[in-house]
């Protein structure tokens, strides 16, 4: 029997995802029309021996989270629970804090997934790989390019046995192009013993000197994976399928494109088709069944349209996520943007962001998880994001900007954060 744990973080996380994460926990943000964690649950459900999914985070239980869990339980027919940390326990502390719940029923191993990633995870193959190293631990890895690898956990493995020889979290100097995907399978007893030792060390440090952190906090990279690699009990399974971390909103557009592309294989029924009386569809587009789109609108490629969205005549949308209840009036144009819940875009207006794609000339390039501002203090060119309930008048251009919720824009803006 196997269980899955999804680490969903909490309200102080997802800062690079603002203002969208102010409104909704980042793990519930829709990619390809469905919340990020929905895709994780769907991927986990493919493992035949999976008996339970536990979400661990420090969000206060909310209506949106409870509703999501209830619906997912029913749809996937698997028990799903949310366990809330009393305070942030770091990228692994929650696993130790709730160890009794995880160990209940004596699972042979448990899968851990970070919520801020998206991919075509080969979980069934990963479980098979893990079983070959019974009693040990496994990590899913992928390839990054040399320039970007230092943004991730990097590992060096024995090419024949796949034993991880060395693991460094976000190394300052080059270690390897093989990076951590944020997906693991652990053997419960051995992992909990190791984490118990980390917490003992934290208590010991606290007794010797004022300890700034939380004693129950455990870091997945530095405390767990590096130690497992040193003890020779961690094995890496390399995936070559699509994988991306979702740190900022720009990477959500990239993930959206890849998830829509995955639908060709997994859910072709979710992709909009051209037809009489239908809008003109270019490439991959998802349209919620409750959305109303004028037949002269042109959508795609890589557009997700949420529930109750209304799109007027002659509107043009590409590389964009339209969140629930947004209204696009006639002839507006939306490119490389996320349009927040219940926003309204006026006639002939243009909302446009910059592409945040990985460099196509570099193999294994990934979207940068850059911060909002460059070294020169200026806003880094990125997608345009409109927070909830933003109204844009007709014939206005908003380019490369982030607009906080509940704003009315009657003039054009460029490269600004509109507070």
- Choose the binding region for ligand GTP from 69-77, 89-97, 382-390, 403-411 (rule: CB under 6 A): 89-97
Shortest distance, CB of residue 26 to ligand GTP, whole angstroms?
Answer: 7
For ligand GTP (CB under 6 A), the number of binding residues is 17
User: Quick one: 85 or 223, whose CB is closer to ligand GTP?
Assistant: 85
In the sheet with 292-293, reading across from the earlier edge strand, the strands are 292-293, 310-311, 327-328, 344-345, 391-392, 408-409
Stretch that binds ligand GTP, among 55-63, 226-234, 381-389, 392-400 (CB under 6 A): 55-63
Of 101, 220, 230, the residue nearest 164 (C-alpha): 230
The residue with tokens 């680490």 is: 7
**Between 170 and 294, whose beta carbon lies closer to ligand GTP?**
170
- Binding mask 211-250 toward ligand GTP (x if CB under 6 A, else -) reads ------------------------------------x---
Cis peptide before 241 (omega within 30 of 0): no
Please choose, from the candidates 310, 281, 284, 285, the residue with its C-alpha nearest in 3D space to the C-alpha of residue 298.
Answer: 281
Taken in order 354, 362, 259, 152, the sign of the CA dihedral is negative
2-41: contacts with ligand GTP (CB under 6 A): 7-9, 13
Residue 313 burial (C-beta neighbours within 10 Å; 0-12, 13-18, 19+)? middle
Residue 152 CB, nearest distance to ligand GTP (Å)? 8
Residues 6 or more apart whose CB falls under 8 angstroms from that of 232 comprise: 163, 165
CA distance 182 to 206: 29
Residues 6+ apart with CB under 8 A from 66: 82
Judged by beta carbon, residue 43 or residue 270, the one nearer ligand GTP is: 43
Return the closest-CA partner of residue 385 out of 339, 324, 326, 329: 339
Torsion over CA of 25, 42, 367 and 92, rounded to 10 degrees?
60
- Which listed range, 37-45, 51-59, 120-128, 328-336, lies at the site for ligand GTP (CB under 6 A)? 51-59
* Residue window 252-291: x/- pattern of binding to ligand GTP, with contact defined by CB under 6 A: ----------------------------------------
The minimum distance between CB 179 and ligand GTP, in angstroms, equals 11
Nearer to ligand GTP, 88 or 340 (CB): 88
Interface region with ligand GTP, contact rule CB under 6 A, candidates 33-41, 63-71, 87-95, 250-258? 87-95
Considering only residues 85, 136, 319, 368, which one is a binding residue for ligand GTP as defined by CB under 6 A? 85
**Residues between 163 and 222 with contacts to ligand GTP, criterion CB under 6 A:** none
Strands annotated E in 104-144: 109-114, 117-119, 137-143
Q: Are the C-beta atoms of residues 305 and 289 closer than 8 Å to each other?
A: no
Residue 8 · residue 57 · CB < 8 Å:
yes
115 binds ligand GTP per the rule CB under 6 A: yes
Task: Please tell me the distance from the alpha carbon of residue 366 to that of residue 373, in angstroms, as a whole number.
Answer: 19
Answer for which of 31, 44, 56, 403 binds ligand GTP (CB under 6 A) is 56
Q: Which is nearer to ligand GTP, 30 or 88 (CB)?
A: 88
Which residues contact ligand GTP by CB under 6 A? 7-9, 13, 56-58, 85, 88-91, 94, 114-116, 247
């Amino acid at each position: 029997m196997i269980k899955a744990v999804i680490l969903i973080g909490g309200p102080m996380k997802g800062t690079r995802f603002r203002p969208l994460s102010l409104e909704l926990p980042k793990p519930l943000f829709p990619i390809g029309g469905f919340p990020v964690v929905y895709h994780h649950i769907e991927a986990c459900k493919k493992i035949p021996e999976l008996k339970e999914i536990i979400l661990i985070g420090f969000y206060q239980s909310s209506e949106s989270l409870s509703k999501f869990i209830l619906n997912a339980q029913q749809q996937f027919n698997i028990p799903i629970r949310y366990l809330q940390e009393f305070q942030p326990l770091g990228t692994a502390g929650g696993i130790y804090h709730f160890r009794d719940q995880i160990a209940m029923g004596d699972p042979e191993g448990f899968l851990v997934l970070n919520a801020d990633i998206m991919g075509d995870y080969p979980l069934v193959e990963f479980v098979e790989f893990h079983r070959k190293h019974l009693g040990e631990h496994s990590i899913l890895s992928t390839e990054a390019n040399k320039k970007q690898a230092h943004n991730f956990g990097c590992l060096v493995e024995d090419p024949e046995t796949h034993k991880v020889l060395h693991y460094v979290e976000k190394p300052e100097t080059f270690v390897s192009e093989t990076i951590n995907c944020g997906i693991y399978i652990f053997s419960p007893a051995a992992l909990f013993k190791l984490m118990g030792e980390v917490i003992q060390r934290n208590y010991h440090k606290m007794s010797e000197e004022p300890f700034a952190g939380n004693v129950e906090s455990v870091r997945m990279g530095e405390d767990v994976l590096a130690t497992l690699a040193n003890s020779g009990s961690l094995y890496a399974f390399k995936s070559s399928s699509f994988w991306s971390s979702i740190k900022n909103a720009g990477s959500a557009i990239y993930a959206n494109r890849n998830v829509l592309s995955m639908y060709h294989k997994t859910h072709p029924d979710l992709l909009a088709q051209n037809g009489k009386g239908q809008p003109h569809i270019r490439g991959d587009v998802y349209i919620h069944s409750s959305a109303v789109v004028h037949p002269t609108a042109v959508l795609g490629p890589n557009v997700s349209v949420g529930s109750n969205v209304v799109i007027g005549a002659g509107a043009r949308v590409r590389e964009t996520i339209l969140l629930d209840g947004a209204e696009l009036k006639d002839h507006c144009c939306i490119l490389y943007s996320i349009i927040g819940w219940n926003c309204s875009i006026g006639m002939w207006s243009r909302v446009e962001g910059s592409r945040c794609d990985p460099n196509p000339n570099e193999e294994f390039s990934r979207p940068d998880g850059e911060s909002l501002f460059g070294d020169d203090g200026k806003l880094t060119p990125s997608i345009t994001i409109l927070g909830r309930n933003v109204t844009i008048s007709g014939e206005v251009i908003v380019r490369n900007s982030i607009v906080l919720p509940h704003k009315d824009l009657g003039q054009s803006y460029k490269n600004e954060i509109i507070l």
